[in-house]
């Protein structure tokens, strides 16, 4: 039998708990936790939770974005960005977390899943560096 992955367990828990409420849901979750323990996958619980989160996000058409900028963004800028992300990924909801990093010098870096849109000065400078090395 193939090795069970964190994704498989998350999918199983999701299917079992779909449409359940209250006591039923808590029994399913308890059984799920027991199964994780029986399969000796307690060490992978973080990955299982992440996989479960991904499944739920996909179902709810939610996007999670990490937005990093050099300076703090105004509320209006944040809303504007979230709106653009929503449009680009055709999502219903955007859950965004904002970070500040002064070493980016300027611009914004948006991470959605494994996609990164990087318009920071730091990134542009490193591209310029490569360009100058290649051409001289």
Partner 1 sequence: MSNNIVENLRKEIESFKVATQTEKVGHVIEVFDGIAKVSGLSDIKSSEMVTFPNGVTGVALNLEEDTVGVIILGEFSKIKEGDEVKATGRILEIPVSDSILGRVVSALGESIDGKGVFKSEKTYPVERVASGVITRQGVDQPVSTGIKVIDAIIPIGRGQRELIIGDRQTGKTAIAIDAILNQKGQNMICVYVSIGQKDSKLRKIEARLEEGGAMAYTVIVSAGASEPAPMSYIAPYTGVSIAEYFMDQGKDVLIIYDDLSKHAVAYREISLLLRRPPGREAYPGDVFYLHSRLLERACRRNEKYGGGSITALPIIETQAGDISAYIPTNVISITDGQIFLETDLFYKGIRPAVNVGFSVSRVGSSAQIKAMKKVAGTLKLDLAQFRELEAFAQFGSDLDEATQNQLERGKRAIEVLKQAQYSPIKVENQVVIMYALTKGYMDNVAIEKIKAFENGLIEYSVRNAKTFYKEVQTSKMWTDKGEAELKKAIEDFKSGFTQ
Residues that bind partner 1 (CB under 8 A): 5, 7, 111, 113-119, 124, 127-128, 131-136
Q: What angle do CA 93, 32, 12 make, to 5 degrees?
A: 60
Show the DSSP H helices in the chain as ranges: 6-17, 22-38, 45-60, 75-89, 121-135
Burial class (CB in 10 A: 0-12, 13-18, 19+), 92: exposed
The distance of closest approach from Cβ of residue 22 to partner 1 in the complex, given in angstroms and rounded to an integer, is 33
**Considering beta carbons, is residue 71 or 113 the nearer one to partner 1?**
113
**Considering beta carbons, is residue 92 or 121 the nearer one to partner 1?**
121
CA-to-CA distance for 94 and 99, rounded, in angstroms?
A: 16
The distance of closest approach from Cβ of residue 54 to partner 1 in the complex, given in angstroms and rounded to an integer, is 11
The distance of closest approach from Cβ of residue 48 to partner 1 in the complex, given in angstroms and rounded to an integer, is 12
**Considering beta carbons, is residue 5 or 77 the nearer one to partner 1?**
5
């Amino acid at each position: 039998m193939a090795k069970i992955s964190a994704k498989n367990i998350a999918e199983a828990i999701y299917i079992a708990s779909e449409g359940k409420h209250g006591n039923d849901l808590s029994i399913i979750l308890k059984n799920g936790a027991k199964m994780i323990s029986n399969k000796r996958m307690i060490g992978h619980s973080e990955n299982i939770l992440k996989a479960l989160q991904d499944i739920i996000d996909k179902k709810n058409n939610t996007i999670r974005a990490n937005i990093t900028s050099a300076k703090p963004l105004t509320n209006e800028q944040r809303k504007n960005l979230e709106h653009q992300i929503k449009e680009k990924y055709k999502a219903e909801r955007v859950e965004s977390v904002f970070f500040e990093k002064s070493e980016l010098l300027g611009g914004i870096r948006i991470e959605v899943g494994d996609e990164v849109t990087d318009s920071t000065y730091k990134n542009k400078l490193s591209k310029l560096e490569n360009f100058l090395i290649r051409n001289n």
